[in-house]
Amino acid sequence: MKTFTHALLAATLASTSLCALAQAYGPPISLEQARKAMAAAEAEVKRNNWTMAIAIVDSGGHLVLFQRADGTQFAGAKIAEDKAWSAAAYKRPGKMFQDRLAKLGEDMRILHLRGVIAVDGGDPIIVDGKVIGGIGVSGGSGEQDGSVSKAGAGALK
């Protein structure tokens, strides 16, 4: 029981410290906005000749738009959606969690946060300082996925 209590306390402290700098949620991303973000992400994919899955969720974590290129592993569909959900839910890029976990130590508590995807390729979509959704990408290396998700998220700035 003591271990469970410590884990719960660590998760609570982690979520509190992570949200302290977070933006507010805005209205859910519209289909038009999601299409614009998808087009920017897709352009990055095509420019590099990659095959990827791209998911865009609204500020409530609900899937708005998705595509998976021919030849992309089927697991990429769920991974992309999970990355998008994590970015929207925690108002943080997966890369931020990845970098914090790389330091080990106290930041290992991140592993107790439900639904966190601590790898590059998931970014919140922010408009006017508010999170309106998230984009997740899977199919390449973490760096490649991150390049595509950043292109999509940046399209609405």
Residue 100, pLDDT above cutoff 90? no
Phi, psi of 32 (to 5 degrees): -60, -45
Judged against a pLDDT cut of 60, whether residue 3 lies above it is answered with: no
Neighbours of 140 (CB within 10 A): 20
Which residue segments constitute the domains of the chain, with CATH numbers given? 2-154 (3.30.450.150)
- Distances 147 to 1, 126, 138, 142, 152 between C-alpha atoms, Å: 43, 17, 11, 9, 9
pTM to 2 decimal places: 0.83
pLDDT (tens digit per residue) in 116-133? 888 999 999 999 999 999
pLDDT of 32 higher than 60: yes
Residue 97, token pair as written in the block: 């969690």
- Alpha-carbon dihedral sign for residues 150, 147, 98, 77: positive
- How many other C-beta atoms are found inside a 10 Å radius of the C-beta of residue 154? 16
For residue 41, count CB atoms less than 10 angstroms from its CB and return exposed for 0-12, middle for 13-18, buried for 19 or more: buried
- 105 conformational bin, left if phi > 0, alpha if psi -120 to 50, beta if neither: left
- CA atoms lying within 13 Å on the CB side of residue 7: 8
Average pLDDT taken over every residue of the chain: 87
* Whole-number Å distance between alpha carbons of 45 and 136: 13
